[in-house]
Amino acid sequence: MSFSKFTEQDYDQINRSYGELKAAAQNRCANSEELDVVQKAFDFANEAHKNVRRHSGDPYILHPLEVAKIVVSDIGLGYKSISAALLHDVVEDTDYTVDDLRNLFGDKIASLVDGLTKIKTVLDNEDRTKKLSDSSQESLQAENFKRILLTLNDDVRVVLIKLADRLHNCRTIEFMPEYKRDKILGETMFIFIPLAHRLGLYEIKSEMENICLKYKEPDAYNEISALVNKNIAGQEKQIDDFIAPISEALKDAGFDFVVRKRVKTPYSIWHKMQTKNITFEQVYDLYALRIVFNPDPNSKESERDQCYHIFSIITGIYRYKPDRVRDWVKHPKSNGYEALHCTLMSDKGIWIEVQIRSKRMDDIAEKGIAAHWTYKQEGYISENDSEMDKWLAKVKEILVSPDVNALELLDIIHNDLTSSEITVFTPKGDQKTIRKGATALDFAYLIHTEIGNKAIAAKINMRLVTLSHVLKTGDQIEIITAENGKPKREWLQFLQTRHARNIVIDYFKGHKKEVVEAGRKLLKENFEARGYRMSDDAVALLVDHFNIPSRSTEEFMFRIGLGLVKLDDLSEILVSEKMDKNHSYWSSFLRFGKKKEAAAPVRKPDKDEYVIASCCRPIPGDSVIGIKSPDGVVTVHKKSCPVADSIASKHGDWVVVPQWGGSADDQAFPVRLSFKGIDRMGLLNEISRYISLVMGVNMKKVFLSTEEGIFDGYIDLLVHDKTALERMIRKLASIDGVQSVARTDM
């Protein structure tokens, strides 16, 4: 922030922005008294932030104004939340207190601002971060996110306003120094985007995803955006022609509706290309239509049945892809999302996704939990009402657990936020929702603790299976129990749901002494097998490495005894703490980027402190982020690497800005190219000849398999930089028979 007297142009900009907010607020406020509170909050915040500017040079008050607009227009919250958004930086950045706000605006608005202030105090106070001990620094950001999540159970509006605040910070992220930008984008990808998804805020989620892609993978973002724009220009009329008979048929059937056109976002296209190893041209459902209808209250058909009626009409006009039908009307998602999706083939041969929603479903899809609760208050009770409450209760259970430290909590919440769900059935046909990847034993514990504890086997669709059998959507499960059955330690090796794992761990807490002794014995055996002596110092080092709560040696032994701590890398862990790290191999290809602000929280690392991350293997030309651990080593990741996002979300002060520099002509970097295509005589020879003879690139490993005329596989090779790699990919993709070639993880 900076200070300089506002100009007439500044005041005009502020007044225009407030005028836009006031117009939006009028549609949401129930009466003039509520609108007066919004006016009062604006006047107060405007005076408090007078002559204060952001990094961009704009008046600071424009930030809370934009946050308030998102709160009312994109999330649909009311006057108290709008007022809290306007006031959310006042306590942190001025001399006013929460008590001052309480006296002026009442308890609820003051408590919302207080919740937001407590979050912001930890998130932004980097000077405080520098003064903390290493152990405190490790958990500072994680404690902050724990604080954010705790507000879910106090008042979810605090989290919703925080999401609006994060979205606007993302919109203006270009004005931030790069190290802070990388930190914020890492946090956004790891926590805020999954949180927006879980709360049903799809528009906010999509916008944040696209901003992250724009700054993490700018080349991919620009290329995909250009291809999308070119594609739209060439097929706009075809889409309109596709819509015409649908609109006519729905009008004839008496539906009150609108049809909206949508194109997949650059991020969703990029993500599909990455996860499925396909090209842009192979993303066949590039276009989507949304049919939003107002249910006829006089119809004998329910809202759900009217969705199916529309489905029957449009699939009578166009052929649909059966395996692409997604029925979230009968089985809504746990965040309240309801819609019926199908993919239709146009007369021109284009696959187009069609989403069918009622007006209520569309509001919930756009504004998430806020709209869901609004409809509930108005008397509309959904079959899915309890799912959000169940999730909030589960979050609270995790948050209050004394056995979970802040860093573990962050991973647990992230995994929970990003996990997919499947639908399964009891022997009586009752429907149950469980996370994707769950086992029969997880299902047993979902039904009842005693059924899980006494389980010995299961029947899936009438076929006998083990308890570790992984469930699939539609499975019907019967659990077989024995009266003398009891939990086994090895169950923890395959249980997937936290609920089930906690029950088993709690059972063994009743036998803690013997489990601790078993863990101590196992650790000692592992030390001796590797030629080490198990000293107190060595054990303390491991306790610290594994982030054991309260640094408890007994808890560490207990976790080893249960198999929760893996000792496979024991030698590497012990050696890495003592070895003299010498990474000169990479030093000539990386140089530290110039700090853009004197307050950058890192010093310039020595030239021999860089290593290339094995998880994403960046090469010269990739956009990269540096993670500087306490031992001084900077690990260089691709900016799009999820591992880097995870670390940046927990240790924002570790983020540094490396840049590729120097000449890499005498060094090569490992990459993997994955192929798919139509097999023919001499194809492999042509591919390998181009790589080795024309490009002069050394191939390290080749794996290609053929089945019924289709081949796929990969080639590991060494390249000098991204430019050479992209040139090679373009040439290989043009070889007859090669359908797709893409850089993938090794």
**Which of 86, 90, 80 minimizes the C-alpha distance to 120?**
90
DSSP for 157-180, please give it: HHHHHHHHHHHHHHHTGGGS-HHH
| Choice between 295 and 615, residue whose per-residue pLDDT is larger | 295
Q: Compute the residue count for the chain.
A: 746
- Compute the distance between CA of residue 217 and CA of residue 642 in angstroms, rounded to an integer: 13
Region 4-13: what's the mean pLDDT?
92
pLDDT in tens, 224-234: 999 998 888 77
Give the number of C-alpha atoms closer than 13 A to the C-alpha of residue 177, restricted to the C-beta side.
16
User: Is the confidence at residue 153, as pLDDT, over 80?
Assistant: no
Give the mean pLDDT of the chain: 82
In our burial notation (b when 16+ CB lie closer than 10 A, e otherwise), range 473-490 reads eebebbbbbeeebebebe
State the span(s) of the chain assigned CATH 1.10.3210.10: 2-201
Domain(s) of CATH 3.30.460.10: residues in the chain = 220-367
How far apart, in whole angstroms, are the C-alpha atoms of residue 598 and residue 579?
33
The whole-angstrom separation of Cα 51 and Cα 5 is 5
pLDDT band at 116 (very low <50, low <70, confident <90, very high): confident
Check: CATH 3.10.20.30 for 419-508? yes
- Its CATH class, for the domain covering 220-367, is alpha beta
Burial class (CB in 10 A: 0-12, 13-18, 19+), 113: buried
Strand extents, DSSP E, 250-334:
256-263, 287-294, 319-320, 326-327
Q: What is the pLDDT of residue 381?
A: 47
* Three-state DSSP state, 617: coil
pLDDT band at 575 (very low <50, low <70, confident <90, very high): low
At 74-84, the pLDDT tens digits run 888 889 999 99
* CA distance linking residue 152 with residue 158, whole number of Å: 8
DSSP annotation string for 554-606: HHHHHHHHHT-S--TTHHHHHHHTTS----HHHHTTEEEPPPSSTT-S-PPPP
Does the structure show a pLDDT above 60 at 27?
yes
CATH topology assigned to domain 669-744? Alpha-Beta Plaits (3.30.70)
pLDDT value, residue 495: 93
Q: Is 327 helix (H, G, I), strand (E, B) or coil?
A: strand
What are the tens digits of pLDDT across the range 321-342? 888 888 888 877 766 788 999 9
Task: State what percent of residues in the chain have pLDDT above 70.
Answer: 82
Which residue reads 């909206």 in tokens?
260
CATH class of segment(s) 2-201: mainly alpha
Active site residues: 92-93
The answer to whether the beta carbons of residues 423 and 473 sit under 8 Å apart is: yes
Q: What is the DSSP string of 124-144?
A: H-HHHHHHS-HHHHHHHHHHH
Distance CA 340, CA 630 (A): 50
Q: Tally the C-alpha atoms within 13 A of residue 594's C-alpha that lie toward its C-beta.
A: 1
Using pLDDT thresholds of 50, 70 and 90, give the confidence band for residue 723.
confident
Residue 225 to residue 219: CA distance in whole angstroms: 10
Pairing of strands 634-638, 610-612: parallel
Confidence at residue 138, expressed as pLDDT on a 0 to 100 scale: 43
What whole-number distance in Å separates Cα of residue 440 and Cα of residue 460? 8
pLDDT category, 129, cuts 50, 70, 90? very low
- pLDDT band of residue 154 (cuts 50, 70, 90) is low
What are the residue ranges of CATH 3.30.70.260 in the chain?
A: 669-744
Q: Would you state the pLDDT for residue 286?
A: 82
